[in-house]
């Protein structure tokens, strides 16, 4: 090992952070070691805004050579949703060469044990954290997120989720001691005595299939959970969002090498256009774990075909907000308007169906009819996004043509309560920035059901008129059971309604946010405290992050012998 | 609730036991609250030997009415491997009636919370423990185990495994607090504050598919893990081994009722001859968890088709013992002879392939050639089983005709080093009791590979001549990777060989017993300390019991709201 990254120095540097993370996942109180504010960076070796921007600019048009074995071509072709060509090329791997090379380093990584693996992972996260400004540009120009969101969600929040996974992995692997004595009394005879050792062993090579919208946030939990449990990790990014994960792989390889481990424990699998590499890799016998975020179709394909692997999927879902009553009508509208607008609704957690009784709701401003609620919400969105500069900072750019197609088709689904408008981006004239559309649907019309019972990913929401709040909870139940949901929201001042919605969420395994009217939004979760998804409905088969997310990534092997 | 089974009394009665179990799974030291000695029973409400025998006798020829809804027929037909007809009939269920009835009790069971569920489970186990003598006869006359083994493995050891699962389930569900406050600083602005509640919710109805040989031991971990995590549990016993699980279901229903819960949270699904009920039930949408022990063919079928469920399987494997050298030759022979003989080798953990270098081994008695080792082992088995009364107490009866067929065919596979002989049972003249056969095979002969690379379940072992110990470890590796293994044993005085075998076991995920020469055997594991299987090789996809075995049986649902 290099002088500065011995086991001792890494443990001294990161063990306190690990201990805090272990405490946080137990108490679920607020905690994060990763600053959210861009100005918090620039000291202690971290890049400030200018340096981060310069580092990103220096990457454009370059070949990112990771020094991986089996590289047989260079591939790339990312175009920013903001219009610029990234021009970065990445190694394309021959899996017959790369996968065996990745396995070669596993025994030493296994023998390092849970604590050393954890602090090596924390060193990787620390170096990524130091380059948060650089990563923010990389996330912005692949996902289309506005800079501040790319900075926060792609930086500290993603790093939090990675650290959380490391903490869970460490906790899980250390539930049994490394060695144990076992003495069984035998009455008058000598007792039976054994010495037992317990070793966490990896499943094999883990595959992370990245997504377009949150390459780091959705990629880090699986990546770090697998690496911290002793597995080599092959990262297959979305072809439109390679750079953030390629930089991540580069950092991991650098730290592993300096710490005396095989760099190939983490590798990149970039693909040529149209290659469909994930399908090829997913069924390789070396691949024993897969983490995937994306479409239901491919998630189902993975679960069906990658039978040699443990497959963790986050797929499509239909998120619902039940609107029954509120004692803070303005707060509710502002909160919902923000949730619908953030990243132009391109979050797996964005509300899609707003279930509103057709007879209206009770509010602190007096009763409001269905039409008034919808009009007021449209007004709140308009107000939030009225200023173009503020709008582009909140909305971001549409991530791919499919989102724009769905947005353009939305007015055909019903009466438009709020039309989407194009917003000019002052810095990136080629960016497609659009405000959300709100379409009125009727929950009692069979024709409307196809729309509100399908995921319409992007800035499209449906104001669904329902007969009553009871009708709303019934539709919520049916929606979650049939289509899944990453989030459920509800607004009510009636304790019985709150309990009814809660009962549906407990019964159908959905995470519920109740009466959010301030600065916390239904589409945002905080690592160490909130679970992302439940793993219990069709939207995802795992939650970020809990015991189940890490416990099956390794096995515990026991060697017992007479004492 | 009845006076004696309130939440308070159950908690007071069982919380100390739960705490001890939680401590044991953490330290892995020896512990059990369930006495192994038959004479330990008879006081404090437990049945003594005579009362247990009488209780069993009273069951014969009766209808076991569990009071289940949807009972549309009465089925039965168990014949003891010891020759007697049990004549017990059980309810046959209409799943369209029974399954909805099982779901009905789940909300109240969920709301009871992890601790009350745990102590209710412990009350079930305590009442089963009190009837251990009765259960022992039920296990003996369905599995063919000799009485002492049926008593211990079917009684206290099975109860230990059930309790272990309850402890893991409780620990897993309480890793997050029931409620948490969350306060996120916002610089000069007011902090964001939320109150969060976390509830463990069940996946749905769990299905336990029981096995013929260890109905309670293999059935209890899944049954209690699922029940303790809030799921209703439907028990589908092997048609030849219904009684022990039917009695278990009866006890569980009795305790649930007395504790104020719905009895239908645990139900029996007995089947008519040839019905193939497991296939029908396994793909029902209500079934979200399946625990299965049995053939690889049906285990694979479940994993492929029961996609709506989380499927835990223990399937076939090929267990290997590497014989390299020993400093206690007699101890090794005695230990191996016992392991080959116990329950006539009808354990998933019984060694099958003994890999012995063709040039012989080093021992404390001087060098022994391959032929000498095999002859000496045959002699040790003969010595152990020379007395018929002792032999039947160790061997038990052959559990089904398939075992006898494989045993009868074994001499055709190679040179017989030890012939199987029929042993007359003094009490049960109709029982088929047979000693093990040892067949010599050659690891370098391609023709022999089909034999030693297949599971030959029953009292058949192969003394496989290998070129060297290195050849043995290579064959061990190949065997575990291709066929799986529940156990691996090795005898060596050479630390390098020990490390090499250990490395294979770590690499291929197999549990290793090294140099067992005393009263602990490779085919026996102790709850709270030893893992049964690893879940990492083809013999099983789960280990009894670890975090992964319980963590995905429930989901944690969060409700967050402004403080």
A429 in reach of chain B (CB within 8 A):
no
Q: Yes or no: say if A73 and A277 are a contact pair by the CB < 8 Å rule.
A: no
Distance between CA A465 and CA A471 in Å, rounded?
10
The interface residues of chain A toward chain B in range 192-221, judged by CB-CB distance below 8 A, are 192, 194, 196, 198-199, 201, 203
Which pLDDT band holds residue A2 (cuts at 50, 70, 90)?
very low
Per-residue pLDDT tens digits for A522-534: 999 999 999 999 9
Which candidate, B527, B499, B372, places its Cα nearest to that of B20? B527
**Predicted pLDDT at B273:** 85
B515/A561 CB distance under 8 A: yes
Per-residue pLDDT tens digits for A331-365: 999 999 999 999 999 999 999 999 999 999 999 99
Strands, sheet with B179-186, edge to edge from the N-terminal-most edge strand: A415-418, A437-442, A460-466, A353-357, A320-323, A488-491, A512-514, B554-562, B189-202, B179-186
Half-sphere exposure (CA, 13 Å, Cβ side) for B537?
32
Q: Yes or no: say if A38 and A52 are a contact pair by the CB < 8 Å rule.
A: no
From the number of C-beta atoms within 10 Å of its C-beta (0-12, 13-18, 19+), residue B496 rates as: exposed
Nearest to B502 among A172, A548, A559 (CB): A559
Distance between CA B81 and CA B140 in Å, rounded?
8
B203/A535 CB distance under 8 A: no
Query: What are A201's two structure tokens?
Result: 């062993």
Query: What are B230's two structure tokens?
Result: 């809030």
A301 in reach of chain B (CB within 8 A):
no
Distance between CA B549 and CA B299 in Å, rounded?
16
Q: Please state the φ and ψ torsions of residue A519, each to the nearest 5 degrees.
A: -95, 15
Neighbours of A300 (CB within 10 A): 14
For residues A428-449, give the mean pLDDT. 96
Contacts with B196 (C-beta within 8 Å, 6 or more apart), sequence order: A28, A529, A530, B179, B180, B181, B182, B558, B559, B560
List the Cα angle B414/B418/B421 in 5-degree steps: 115
Half-sphere exposure (CA, 13 Å, Cβ side) for A445?
13
Per-residue pLDDT tens digits for A481-525: 999 999 999 999 999 999 999 999 999 999 999 999 999 999 999
CA A85 to chain centre: 25
Which candidate, B167, B126, B162, B228, places its Cα nearest to that of B26? B167
Distance between CA B9 and CA B6 in Å, rounded?
5
Q: Which residues pair with B355 in a beta bridge?
A: B322, B464
What does chain A come to in residues?
Answer: 563
Give the ipTM: 0.97
**Predicted pLDDT at A1:** 41
Helix (H, G, I), strand (E, B) or coil at B134: helix
A513/B561 CB distance under 8 A: yes
Query: What are A364's two structure tokens?
Result: 């602190």
**If you search the block for the tokens 């039976």, which residue do you land on?**
A192
Strands (E), A113-272: 179-186, 189-202, 205-209, 232-236, 266-268
B511/A558 CB distance under 8 A: yes
B551/A546 CB distance under 8 A: yes
Strands, sheet with A310-314, edge to edge from the N-terminal-most edge strand: A266-268, A232-236, A205-209, A287-293, A310-314
Distance between CA B187 and CA B241 in Å, rounded?
66
Distance between CA A219 and CA A544 in Å, rounded?
11
In chain A, which residue's Cα lies nearest the Cα of B557?
A511
Q: Yes or no: say if A81 and B481 are a contact pair by the CB < 8 Å rule.
A: no
DSSP secondary structure letters along B345-388: G-STTS--EEEEETT-BB-TTS-B-HHHHHHHHHHHHHHHT-SH
Task: Per residue of chain B (563 residues), give pLDDT as tens.
Answer: 444 689 999 999 999 999 999 999 999 999 999 999 999 999 989 999 999 999 999 999 999 999 999 999 999 999 999 999 999 999 999 999 999 999 999 999 999 999 999 999 999 999 999 999 999 999 999 999 999 999 999 999 999 999 999 999 999 999 999 999 999 999 999 999 999 999 999 999 999 999 999 999 999 999 999 999 999 999 999 999 999 999 999 999 999 999 999 999 999 999 998 999 999 999 999 999 999 999 999 999 999 999 999 999 999 999 999 999 999 999 999 999 999 999 999 999 999 999 999 999 999 999 999 999 999 999 999 999 999 999 999 999 999 999 999 999 999 999 999 999 999 999 999 999 999 999 999 999 999 999 999 999 999 999 999 999 999 999 999 999 999 999 999 999 999 999 999 999 999 999 999 999 999 999 999 999 999 999 999 999 999 999 999 999 999 999 999 99
Helix (H, G, I), strand (E, B) or coil at B18: helix
**If you search the block for the tokens 């990629």, which residue do you land on?**
A219
Which candidate, A19, A192, A16, A30, places its Cα nearest to that of A525? A30
Which pLDDT band holds residue A158 (cuts at 50, 70, 90)?
very high
Q: Which helix (H) or strand (E) holds A281?
A: helix A277-282
Half-sphere exposure (CA, 13 Å, Cβ side) for A204?
19
Query: What are B337's two structure tokens?
Result: 């002879």
Contacts with A279 (C-beta within 8 Å, 6 or more apart), sequence order: A301, A305
Q: Yes or no: say if B198 and B220 are a contact pair by the CB < 8 Å rule.
A: no
B517/A562 CB distance under 8 A: yes
Cis upstream peptide for A545 (omega within 30°): yes
Query: What are A509's two structure tokens?
Result: 């395994």
List the Cα angle B86/B91/B92 in 5-degree steps: 110
B551/A556 CB distance under 8 A: no
From the number of C-beta atoms within 10 Å of its C-beta (0-12, 13-18, 19+), residue A199 rates as: buried
**Predicted pLDDT at B2:** 47
**Predicted pLDDT at A5:** 82
For residues A393-417, give the mean pLDDT. 96
Crossing angle for the helix pair A329-341 and A370-385, to the nearest 10 degrees: 60
Distance between CA B217 and CA B41 in Å, rounded?
19
Q: What is the pTM of this model?
A: 0.97
Q: Yes or no: say if A149 and A342 are a contact pair by the CB < 8 Å rule.
A: yes
With a pLDDT cut of 70, the percent of chain A lying above it is 99
Q: Which residues of B touch A182 (CB under 8 A)?
A: 28-30, 526, 529
Distance between CA A113 and CA B120 in Å, rounded?
38
Query: What are B63's two structure tokens?
Result: 């209808």
Nearest to A555 among B28, B535, B551 (CB): B535
B557/A513 CB distance under 8 A: no
**Predicted pLDDT at B296:** 92
What does chain B come to in residues?
Answer: 563
Half-sphere exposure (CA, 13 Å, Cβ side) for B128?
37
Neighbours of A114 (CB within 10 A): 21
Strands, sheet with B415-418, edge to edge from the N-terminal-most edge strand: A179-186, A189-202, A554-562, B512-514, B488-491, B320-323, B353-357, B460-466, B437-442, B415-418
B518 CA: distance to closest CA in chain A (Å): 8
A534 in reach of chain B (CB within 8 A):
yes
Q: Which residues of B touch A27 (CB under 8 A)?
A: 177, 180
């Amino acid at each position: 090992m290099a002088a500065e990254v011995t086991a001792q120095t890494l443990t001294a540097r990161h063990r306190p952070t690990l201990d805090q993370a272990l405490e946080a996942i137990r108490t679920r109180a607020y905690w994060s070691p990763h600053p959210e504010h861009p100005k918090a960076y620039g000291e202690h070796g971290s890049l400030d805004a200018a340096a981060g921007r310069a580092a990103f600019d220096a990457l454009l048009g370059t070949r990112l050579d990771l020094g991986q074995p089996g590289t047989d071509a260079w591939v790339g072709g990312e175009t920013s949703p903001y219009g610029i060509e990234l021009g970065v090329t990445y190694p394309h791997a021959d899996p017959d060469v790369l996968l065996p090379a990745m396995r070669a380093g596993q025994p030493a990584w296994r023998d390092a044990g849970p604590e050393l693996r954890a602090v090596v992972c924390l060193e990787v996260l620390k170096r990524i954290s130091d380059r948060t400004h650089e990563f923010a540009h990389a996330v912005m120009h692949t996902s289309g997120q506005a800079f501040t969101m790319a900075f926060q969600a792609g930086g500290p929040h993603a790093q939090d989720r990675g650290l959380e996974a490391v903490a869970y992995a460490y906790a899980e692997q250390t539930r049994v001691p490394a060695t144990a004595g076992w003495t069984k009394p035998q009455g008058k005879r000598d007792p039976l005595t054994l010495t037992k050792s317990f070793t966490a062993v990896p499943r094999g090579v883990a595959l992370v299939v990245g997504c377009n919208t949150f390459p780091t946030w959705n990629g880090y939990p699986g990546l770090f959970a697998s690496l911290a449990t002793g597995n080599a990790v092959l990262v297959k990014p979305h072809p439109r969002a390679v750079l953030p994960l390629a930089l991540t792989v580069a950092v991991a390889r650098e730290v592993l090498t300096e710490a005396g481990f095989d760099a190939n424990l983490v590798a990149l699998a970039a693909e040529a256009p149209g290659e469909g590499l994930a399908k090829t890799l997913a069924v390789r016998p070396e691949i024993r774990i897969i983490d995937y975020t994306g479409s239901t179709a491919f998630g189902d394909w993975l679960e069906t075909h990658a039978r040699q692997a443990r497959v963790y999927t986050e797929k499509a879902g239909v998120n619902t907000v039940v609107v029954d009553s509120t004692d803070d009508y303005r707060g509710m509208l502002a909160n919902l308007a923000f949730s619908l607008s953030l990243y132009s609704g391109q979050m797996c957690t964005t509300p899609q169906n707003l279930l509103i009784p057709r007879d209206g709701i009770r509010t602190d401003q007096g009763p409001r009819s269905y039409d008034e609620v919808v009009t007021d919400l449209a007004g709140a969105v308009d107000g939030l996004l009225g200023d173009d500069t503020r709008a582009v900072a909140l909305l971001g750019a549409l991530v791919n043509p499919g989102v724009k197609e769905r947005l353009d088709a939305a007015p055909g689904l019903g009466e438009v309560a709020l039309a989407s408008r194009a917003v000019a981006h002052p810095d990136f004239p080629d960016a497609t920035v659009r405000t959300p559309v709100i379409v009125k649907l009727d929950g009692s019309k069979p024709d409307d059901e196809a729309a509100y019972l399908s995921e319409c990913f992007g800035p499209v929401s449906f104001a669904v008129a329902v007969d009553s709040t009871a009708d709303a909870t019934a539709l919520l139940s049916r929606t979650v059971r049939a289509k899944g949901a990453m989030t459920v929201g509800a607004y009510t001042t009636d304790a019985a309604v709150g309990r009814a919605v809660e009962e549906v969420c407990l019964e159908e395994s959905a995470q519920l946010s109740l009466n959010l009217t301030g600065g916390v939004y239904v589409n945002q979760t905080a690592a160490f405290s909130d679970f992302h998804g439940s793993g219990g409905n069709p939207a995802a088969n795992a939650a970020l992050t809990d015991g189940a997310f890490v416990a099956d990534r390794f096995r515990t092997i026991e060697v017992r012998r007479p004492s």
